[in-house]
Structure 1
Amino acid sequence: MSTTPRRRGRRTLRSAATLTAVVVSMSSLAACGSGGSSDSAGSGPVTITFWGWAKGTQDVVNAFNASHPDVHVDYQQIPSGIAGGYAKLSDAAKAGNAPDVFNVEYAALPDFVSQGAVQDITKLVTPDLKAKYLPQVFQLTTLGQRNWGLPLDAAPQALFYRKDLFDKAGITAPPKTWDEYRADAEKLRNAIPDTRIGTFFPDDPSPLEAMSWQAGAHWFTGVGDTWSVDIGGAETKRVTDYWQQLISDDLVRVQPSFSQQWTASLQKGETAAYLGAAWGGGVLKSTLAGTPDAAGKWAVAPIPTWDAQPASGMLGGTTFAVSKNSKKAKAAVEFATWATTTPEGIKARIASGVSSVFPAAQDLVPGAKAAFNTDFYGGQDIYSVFIDAAKSIKSDWQWGPAMSVTNSAMADVFGKLGQGGTVQQGIDAAQQGTVAAMKNRGLKVAAQ
């Protein structure tokens, strides 16, 4: 990648209105309507079904049901999306028995829209409601100037690191640039031979996607009625070359995400940092809850950038979407609105003090910050890091309509790292597989 990124990102925003033709035309969403008018009006409460998997969701449902006599939510916990939840949802949509509302990550939402599994809720999203959400995040729920979901959280990137291990290696401050990150990786390995600065997750392409986003890549762009697909562009190549070198030089570990291997390496001090997102604050705290003396050793810093200027992609994040067959869209959106924009909804989700959710509705951030116990981070105000990172999320990223194929192609190759496979080969496989899948779905594609 050159040091001067291509400045074509704003085209994504300008061309957003065209994406209805690109994504929606190949589905039968027109028959789904925009919801609201078909909610039943019986003598008792309207009952809606909801599928999700995030921690704290049952508490959210309980709190909603206790305070809303006219709508009752029947919740079913399913596996996380990549662990089988998306397959279950897709099968249910095809069979016509999907829940009224379900959780889906930003990256997977266009895929569900293209399948015709999600209902257009534009008429139920008022300007006042839209204004509550961080614009860069709400944009990810919008295709063709139509709304397909409500954002729960933002997931700006962050660096979690062990202060004591950095000190031992003579690292006086967390790295601000990717060059400094590599230099610190060398210092750590030299000072503590069994310790590495971080991990490349072969089973989860999302960190690489977030870093490509941060670097200025544009994997998918809607132009007219055509998708431009450029997964292997120069910005991404800069990222893949960088991580391939870290792996080849044995400066980072290659371990499955959130696996026993990864957890054990954190517990033993063999991994000194974690490139995650805002939600990672709670995940790391929970993962190491039973580790002696872990509390107080960890800190949070902005993620390194190429030029030391603040910049972030998003690593994960979740929406509430209404299924195509739901006849209770108005009630479903009422529940989703309450869960994502009210202090009561966020308070119920983080009541345990473990979740570090960063609400997409910005007025709720102070409440989330107050509810999260930061003793594990030595009392550090970690939400101040997340707040600044959220402001730096690049606003010109678009997810594609076949991300399940994109991710599978990458993970298949990443799983062979060290056995002849390379990070760049994973990107190349994703480009080829994604273009083929999109064409097979009847979408117009211009591959770069």
Structure 2
Amino acid sequence: MMRKSRRTPRRPAAALAASLAALALAATACGGSGGDAGGDGGPVTLTYWSWLKGQKEAVELFNRTHKDVQVRFEEIPAGANGGYDKISNAVKAGNAPDVATVEYAMLPAFVTQGVLKDLPSAGASTVKGRYPASVGELVTFGGRTWAMPRDIGTMVYFYRRDLFDKHGLAVPRTWDDYKAAAEKVKKADSKARLGSFLTDDPVLLAGLSWQAGARWFGTQGDSWKVAIDSPESRKVADYWQGLVDKDLVKAQSATDPLTQSMQKDEVLSVISGAWNAGVLKTLVPGQSGKWAVAPLPSWDGKPASAGYGGAGAALTKGTAKADKATAFITWLNNSADGIRAQLSSGTSSALPASPDLVPVAAKTFDTAFYGGQDIYKVAGDALGTMPTGWAWGPAMAATNTELKTGINAFTSGSAKLADALAAAQGKTVAELKGRGLSVTS
């Protein structure tokens, strides 16, 4: 975290420029971790840290098929569970890996803190040419590209086909349809509900706001623009406020309570990212063949999705092997062999952020749980309907903490859900100003 400045608030471009200057200085002053080509002409050695499934298998394949570069892989805790602290501390200590996994929502913070190094031109060109604009925008800011996208959690609608048939429900195409179906389910079964509002996951609220056209962060002139408490976000909040107030959905945690409700046939559908297809197989294995996937309901019935999770591979500050590291992450996240190796277990439903690789991923996933449905077709189509213009902010930890507090107040009945947006807006603006950044809202 940047220290609070008593000087004139810095502009977003100036803040990024300062980070870039520091990164450039570090790159020329010191080498990255791992050995470069030795005096004996041996291969360049890169180090790679990640917590994602399939990375060890992918690295092993890369090492077998590449002789000039070898990669040492280390599994670390998930980012929010200590992984990000480990990466940040390693950069400060001068012993960081060359490459690390970073989720899209964390990238702006890591860039402004000077943790990462921007990709060379070859990597930037790959991102521009191989990914949809809605994905490229998540890793490109300040005029630089900061990661090679791996997957994107396009939001889709998971539902129990058998229970929909039982209650005579059609898959909702609009949010009005969703509300009508929720009323029908409650009337037919007092214990069951169509879905849930997750009380411990503010990223879901962000994704639904994104789908509705909100743009929580951006720049305006010389300032960061923060628009969490926007009309689009309030529209989403008021909608879910109404569903919860009328007891049409369950307000519950995304962990055990939701799983137990699904196991008891008391939750008929789930709004989530494409990655959840593999998770459901683990949580409710006895319901194999009963689930299906559909596009996310939208406000006007036209296809519209959004991002709910996803990560890329980034270069850390100080690596002296940016070109080799970029070649590795391009192979890792932008080749059929790399994606196939990462998903070789057959249990992950991660959706490649590059549309060209979606068919490759589809062949690795056993669709029996979904009655043979091509779930990657649904998720892949959703990728093309994600609105452009979304950006994460440089203080998402503070933003999400405030949103969680507000959501808890909402579910306890002491506040409105829209109040959480207003509180998060205020907290985020104060946090950015405290870091010496100019902010408008």
TM-score for the superposition, normalised by structure 2: 0.91
- On the 8 A contact 2:120/2:323 being kept in 1, the answer is no
Q: Cα gap change, 1:369/1:218 in structure 2, threshold over 3 Å: closer, same or farther? A: same
Matched, 1:352 2:345: yes
Q: Cα gap change, 1:415/1:93 in structure 2, threshold over 3 Å: closer, same or farther? A: farther
Which sections of structure 1, spanning at least 5 residues, go unmatched?
A: 1-17
- On the 8 A contact 1:35/1:119 being kept in 2, the answer is no
Deviations 1:247-290 (A, max 9, x none): 22222222222x1222121111111111011112112222223x
Structure 1 position 41, deviation (Å)? 2.2
Q: Whole-Å Cα distance in 1 between the matches of residues 28 and 251 of structure 2?
A: 45
Given residue 260 of structure 2, which amino acid in structure 1 is its aligned partner?
A
Match of 1:61 among 36, 59, 62: 59
Q: Cα gap change, 1:386/1:255 in structure 2, threshold over 3 Å: closer, same or farther? A: same
Deviations 1:180-223 (A, max 9, x none): 11111111122122112222222211111011001001111212
1:281-430 aligned at under 5 Å gives the runs 281-289=277-285, 291=286, 294-416=287-409, 417-430=411-424
Q: Cα gap change, 1:198/1:81 in structure 2, threshold over 3 Å: closer, same or farther? A: farther
SS of 1:131's partner is helix
Match of 1:278 among 239, 260, 274: 274
Q: Cα gap change, 1:353/1:36 in structure 2, threshold over 3 Å: closer, same or farther? A: farther
Percent of counterpart pairs with the same letter?
45
Which sections of structure 2, spanning at least 5 residues, go unmatched?
A: 1-10
- On the 8 A contact 1:24/1:114 being kept in 2, the answer is no
Match of 1:231 among 224, 228, 232: 228
Matched, 1:431 2:425: yes
Structure 1 position 446, deviation (Å)? 0.7
Q: Whole-Å Cα distance in 2 between the matches of residues 35 and 353 of structure 1?
A: 43
Structure 1 position 24, deviation (Å)? 4.1
Q: Whole-Å Cα distance in 1 between the matches of residues 89 and 185 of structure 2?
A: 47
Matched, 1:80 2:74: no
Structure 1 position 134, deviation (Å)? 2.5
- On the 8 A contact 2:124/2:144 being kept in 1, the answer is no
Structure 1 position 37, deviation (Å)? 9.6
Match of 1:190 among 187, 190, 213: 187
- On the 8 A contact 1:214/1:313 being kept in 2, the answer is yes
Structure 1 position 26, deviation (Å)? 5.8
Q: Whole-Å Cα distance in 2 between the matches of residues 45 and 161 of structure 1?
A: 50
Q: Whole-Å Cα distance in 1 between the matches of residues 205 and 85 of structure 2?
A: 23
Q: Whole-Å Cα distance in 2 between the matches of residues 318 and 248 of structure 1?
A: 35
1:188-227 aligned at under 5 Å gives the runs 188-227=185-224
TM-score for the superposition, normalised by structure 1: 0.89
Q: Cα gap change, 1:56/1:36 in structure 2, threshold over 3 Å: closer, same or farther? A: farther
Structure 1 position 35, deviation (Å)? 11
Q: Whole-Å Cα distance in 1 between the matches of residues 269 and 50 of structure 2?
A: 30
Q: Cα gap change, 1:48/1:26 in structure 2, threshold over 3 Å: closer, same or farther? A: closer
Structure 1 position 123, deviation (Å)? 2.9
- On the 8 A contact 1:22/1:227 being kept in 2, the answer is no
SS of 1:59's partner is helix
Matched, 1:167 2:160: no
SS of 2:363's partner is helix
Given residue 422 of structure 1, which amino acid in structure 2 is its aligned partner?
K
- On the 8 A contact 2:275/2:350 being kept in 1, the answer is yes
1:21 is matched with 14
2:114 is matched with 116
Structure 1 position 22, deviation (Å)? 4.8
